Amino acid sequence: MGFPHPSHERETPVLSKYFGDPEARTLAGWRARGGYASFEKALGMDPVEIQNIVKDSGLRGRGGAGFPTGIKWSFMKPDGKTHYLCCNADESEPGTFKDREIMRWTPHALIEGVAIGAHAIYAETAYIYIRGEYSEPIRIMQAAVAEAYAAGILGANAMGTGKRVDVHIHRGAGAYICGEETALMNSLEGRRGNPRIKPPFPAVAGLFGQPTTINNVETLAAVPHILREGAEWYQQLGREDNPRSRGTKLFSVCGNIARPGNYEVTMGFPFGEFLNDMCGGALPGREIKAVIPGGSSVPILTREEAENTFMDYEGMVASGTMLGSGGVIVFDDRQDMVRQIARLARFYAHESCAQCSQCREGTAWTTRILERISAGQGNARDFDTLLSIADNMTGKTICVLSDSCATPVVSGLKKFRHEFEAKLGPDHSRGVVPVLLTSNRTVAA
Ligand SMILES: Cc1cc2nc3c(=O)[nH]c(=O)nc-3n(C[C@H](O)[C@H](O)[C@H](O)COP(=O)(O)O)c2cc1C
Ligand code: SF4
């Protein structure tokens, strides 16, 4: 085909089919590839009918939590209130860069999915909230939205049907927390991007206090394909023995791997084959040591665990981790896991919005302790302290950023404890404990 995609014969390119094809970016090019036919069809359908097709397809949210999309849409009732759709294009999870490619190569696929989604939840207005650093995707998305308005696809008389569908592009300001759905809404409203306490859930009181649905880019970009090909077609993509994860999924692969990039496979693809064959395995002369399979917030797998995992929601859970955002980060035998985990903790400490004390304090102390261990000044009691802080950070806060910081620490300590132990300082056997929580003095325990 001449495009970089598919880059491997075992891929199933649906969303990525036109990655690398500059003509698919333009409205004319998108229409020539069947674009906007699904939106036209959707405008002639009752929203409940669309919700049911999406329910039947088995599509689940690709933003991380995997909530069934059709069910989420069915929470939105025709109540006469103003409804909103927010497309979450914040994509700041370390290791994740799939939404960026959807926006760069197929902006109209996303606009079409957003427009269908808006109609399906009785909304006339949709916002695409794009990560601030994504300058090129923002420019491409803005140009595509302008083209869609000029052609009468969007606006007060969408596709000549008399129905209004407006789509606005909103540029974030570079805060990871604004990817959390309620922080995203606060940010859109011009407030500080702090997550909100739920309930009320967005479907009841979301953007500007109105019923709102938030969906990820990849989730929405799949919808035109489902409407065109049918729920049954989507349903049959996936592992035969797991009816709960259907369709295709984009995985972003980075780190110590021969062929990094975005790959689209059917749900349930064998992870061992994915890493060693599709992505080319370890770099020459190296061995894969560990893999974070779903963005930095999910538990770390050893190579052996990863190679025996299926790439779907249930397969990942069975291996003790999560599918998350599909950002695969690979570490080879050169990597110092303590240092890597400390880097992740520093990221979460920096991005905490600081509303919850468990998160504000926990991310900061976790970082300090890990960095101290990494510098060879740790002691054996630090491990218990880290686990105790992690416990206090899990399931107790307004959003799960706090849990996300604890997760790699707990799984790292469990699976790579020998690396932590090898870092302990000369005084560790005496149990010398720096009094971290109150001062920077060091005293004997
Ligand atoms: C700290 C944090 C950051 C998040 N960042 C993103 C993000 O960048 N993109 C995204 O789609 N979802 C992100 N989420 C998940 C969203 O809150 C939300 O669940 C998702 O956008 C829903 O879309 P979906 O149902 O299509 O998956 C984040 C959640 C948390 C707690
Ligand atoms: S868990 Fe952290 S990021 Fe989330 S609301 Fe609380 S302080 Fe903010």
Atom 18 of ligand 1, residue of closest alpha carbon: 181
Give the ligand 1 atom nearest the CA of 183.
17
- CA proximity to 174, closest of 351, 400, 348, 360: 351
Query: H/E element holding 126?
Result: strand 125-130
Q: Cα torsion for 302, 370, 325, 401, to the nearest 10°? A: 140
Q: Coil, strand, or helix at residue 171?
A: strand
pLDDT of residue 238: 95
pLDDT of residue 375: 95
The domain ranges of the chain are 22-235, 248-332, 337-444
pLDDT of residue 189: 98
pLDDT of residue 7: 78
Report CA(195)–ligand 1 centroid distance (Å). 12
CATH number of 337-444: 1.20.1440.230
Residue 214's Cα: distance from chain center in Å?
A: 13
Chain segment 225-241, per-residue pLDDT in tens: 999 999 999 999 999 99
Asked if residues 261 and 253 have their Cβ atoms less than 8 Å apart, the reply is yes
**Topology, domain 22-235:** Rossmann fold (3.40.50)
Confidence bin at 72 (pLDDT 50/70/90): very high
Please, what is the average pLDDT of the chain? 94
Chain segment 291-330, per-residue pLDDT in tens: 999 999 999 999 999 999 999 999 999 999 999 999 999 9
Confidence bin at 443 (pLDDT 50/70/90): very low
Report CA(362)–ligand 2 centroid distance (Å). 11
153 lines ligand 1 (CB under 6 A): no
Confidence bin at 431 (pLDDT 50/70/90): very low
pLDDT of residue 380: 86
CATH number of 248-332: 3.10.20.600
User: Per-residue pLDDT for 441 more than 50?
Assistant: no
The whole-number average pLDDT for the span 49-72 is 97
Q: Would the pTM count as exceeding 0.75?
A: yes
Asked if residues 311 and 249 have their Cβ atoms less than 8 Å apart, the reply is yes
The whole-number average pLDDT for the span 354-358 is 97
Atom 2 of ligand 1, residue of closest alpha carbon: 180
User: How far apart are alpha carbons 354 and 361 in whole angstroms?
Assistant: 8
Chain segment 106-115, per-residue pLDDT in tens: 999 999 999 9
Ligand closest to 353 (CA) is 2
- Percentage of the chain beyond pLDDT 70 is 94
Asked if residues 59 and 235 have their Cβ atoms less than 8 Å apart, the reply is no
- Percentage of the chain beyond pLDDT 90 is 93
Give the ligand 2 atom nearest the CA of 180.
4
pLDDT of residue 294: 96
Report CA(360)–ligand 2 centroid distance (Å). 7
User: Per-residue pLDDT for 444 more than 60?
Assistant: no
Residue 95's Cα: distance from chain center in Å?
A: 9
184 lines ligand 1 (CB under 6 A): no
The whole-number average pLDDT for the span 165-183 is 97
pLDDT of residue 2: 44
Chain segment 188-225, per-residue pLDDT in tens: 999 999 999 999 999 999 999 999 999 999 999 999 99
Read off the amino acid at residue 56.
Answer: D
pLDDT of residue 4: 63
pLDDT of residue 1: 42
pLDDT of residue 433: 46
202 lines ligand 1 (CB under 6 A): no
User: Per-residue pLDDT for 420 more than 80?
Assistant: yes
How many other CB atoms are there within 10 angstroms of residue 202's CB atom?
24
Ligand closest to 356 (CA) is 2
Confidence bin at 428 (pLDDT 50/70/90): low
Confidence bin at 6 (pLDDT 50/70/90): confident
User: How far apart are alpha carbons 234 and 245 in whole angstroms?
Assistant: 10
Give the ligand 2 atom nearest the CA of 403.
1
Ligand closest to 196 (CA) is 2
175 lines ligand 1 (CB under 6 A): no
The whole-number average pLDDT for the span 388-398 is 97
